[in-house]
A and B are shown apart, each in its own frame.
Chain A
Amino acid sequence: MTDAVIRCRDLGRTFGDFHAVRDVTFEVPPGEIFGYLGANGAGKSTTIRILCGLLSPSSGHAEVAGFDVAKDPEAVKRRIGYMSQKFSLYPDLTVEENLDFFGGAYGLSGRTLRARIDAVVDEVGLRSERKAMTSSLPGGRQQRVALANALLHDPRILFLDEPTAGVDPAARREFLALVRRRVQAGATVFLTTHYLDEAEYCRRVGLMVAGRLVALGTPAELKAAWAPGDVRVLRGAPTALGGAVRPIPGVLAVQSLGGGIRIRVEAGRLDTVLAAARSADPDVAVEVAEPTLDDVFLAVVQGGDR
């Protein structure tokens, strides 16, 4: 037995003949921010709903906080916080009324509930907006109310389903800082996102494609495994550069940029490729760049299983 707080083995879920999730296996140790990444429809939300005890798996096994999600979903729900994509808040209640209502749903009441509301409002920085109507708050603030809701019963495990979708960059950064503080205090976070740059924040990342978990590791491990080689940005005429570089063996990826191209090249082939680029456009300027999780995603989808 490991001390993982989330554990899935061969997890599957079908809707009719559609396999939303198939054969998914992974573990999340305590204190980790685990990012679950994929396009819309890849199976992210289905997985999260199974792990939260909201949806039963069709096959396989999942455990959260030591409880079987299929056999004891209520025990799971008591130990987790869940924030859904559509922050399920009552727009015509104030921030405090929302927290009061959801606190009741978690079985909190009286002095305990009051104390917890005070604590979460401080934690997410909503003290001055307690009496504000939820619908009057901008998206980034509503997102904090939703997070406060998910923290009311002080869960050790947080499930965040695309928590930053449609939120502006400043609010997104502040939100991730709040999440990180929770993790430093000992919580484990499972978050889904379709922003690949956001996945860089996570300690480990699982990549979902068409219901399958096709890659899993730290961002650095994934890049080393799936997007090896040298990445360069060539500034110059995109059409000429692209035409010259594409046919050369060892060129793994070419992307058009405004005023240039971005290439990924097999180790040891860079000199040949740069020479070709220079003969196509003598004024080309070369910048060193780094592989991204976008490169990983592309390689995984195009390369199939590894």
Chain B
Amino acid sequence: MGETPVAVVSGLRHRYGTTLALDGMAFEVRPGELYGLIGPDGAGKTTTVRALAGLLEPNEGTVRIGGGDPLDPRSGVREHLGYMPQRFGLYRDLSVDENLRFFGDLFCLDRKTFLERRDRLMTITRLAPFLARRADALSGGMYKKLALSCALLHQPDLLILDEPTNGVDPVSRGELWDLLADFTTQGMAVLVTTSYMDEAARCSRVGLASGGRLILEGRPADLVAAFGDAVLRVEPGAGASTDDVEATLAREGRAIEAVTPLGTGLRVVVRGDDADRITARLEETTATVRRMTPGFEDLYLARMASTSTGEGP
């Protein structure tokens, strides 16, 4: 999609006291894109999101949404932006419907527009049967969906969600990602942050963040395809144990990138060029070896390792 980006973040640097939270964060989000900003706690995700939402003035760098500066109240950026922070402030003692009405009023929606949008959002989030329920009586997943609906009432061009799936059960997580994918097919741009590496596959494009900047960016399928290592699932043969497998692997030295337990066997990350040879060697010991699809955590850790040893991007 060659359209003009909805959001442009460039050269962001920001310090909290002695902590460098952002150190050259830069990326773009285009219309219809589900962009995942992914990284562990402390990678700079929330600081970036706060800068995008106009809640924080970065020490250096610029943020543009629809060409406007979110820090400038006259830019009209807020009208184009839906923002769901980690703790979305719903009124817990108001009902689902009352919360929606409150946000409808905030965005100055007329009654007819409000009702149309409310009903559509309640249908797609499947919250319609719970309109009269108090917000504090909703489950975690339902609460998130209500927060999402409130952030969407004014039909923003860009929806920003900060760790919406953190601590949410896997079923609700799955539903939320499906909803976000739906929105983007209608042209909305969505920026999501998450610390769950495996959620990268749900995004149309991802930026993996570490130390306040991106260390890897691209379409998930392309990133996995370009990954130079192979991931092997190794089950020890009859009468053998994972210790025996590890003894075999120990002789391979630097070809082995990582070994972790995996159920009754091991998960072994090896350099791609060595995968066939190591597989053959393991099979000689009667172990069963199967190639697995690498995960985004593998990509992340490999990139971290190559960055710290100076091999560069």
Binding site for B on A (CB under 8 A): 33, 38-42, 138-139, 166-170, 173, 176-177, 180, 184, 194-197, 200-203, 218-220, 235, 238-239, 255-260, 262, 287, 289-290, 294, 297-298, 301-302
Contacts and interface: CB of A to CB of B under 8 A. Distances in A.
A194 B220 CA distance: 23
A168 B263 contact: no
Contacts of B295: 197
Given A173-B258, A200-B262, A290 B170 contact: no
A298 B261 CA distance: 24
B292 interface: yes
Interface of B is mostly: mixed
A173 B40 contact: no
The listed residue with most A CB atoms (<10 A of its CB), out of B221, B267, B297, is: B221
B25 interface: no
B201 interface: yes
Given A195-B196, A262-B201, A290-B292, 6 more contacts: A168-B40, A168-B41, A197-B197, A220-B263, A235-B221, A257-B220
A40 B169 contact: yes
Interface of A is mostly: mixed
Given A238-B185, A298-B170, A255 B196 contact: no
Given A39-B170, A177-B260, A298-B170, A139 B41 contact: yes
Contacts of A41: 140
Contacts of B187: none
Contacts of B297: 169, 197
Given A197-B297, A298-B170, A176 B260 contact: yes
B243 A184 contact: yes
Interface in B138-197: 140, 167-172, 174, 177-178, 181-182, 185, 195-197
Contacts of B195: 166
B261 A201 contact: yes
Nearest to B43: A168
A258 B42 contact: no
Interface in B17-43: 34, 36, 40-43
Interface stretch (B8-16, B57-65, B202-210): B202-210
Contact of A256 (B41, B178, B198, B261): B178
Contacts of A235: 221
Contact of B263 (A184, A196, A203, A255): A203
Contacts of A255: 174, 177-178, 202
Nearest to A37: B170
B201 A258 contact: yes
B23 to A, nearest CB: 16
A219 B263 contact: yes
B170 A169 contact: no
The listed residue with most B CB atoms (<10 A of its CB), out of A42, A138, A194, is: A194
B115 interface: no
Contacts of B271: none
B219 interface: yes
Contact of B202 (A166, A168, A256): A256
Contacts of B202: 255-258
B113 interface: no
Contacts of A202: 261, 263
A302 B262 contact: no
Nearest to A205: B263
Nearest to A239: B185
B263 A289 contact: no
Nearest to B293: A289
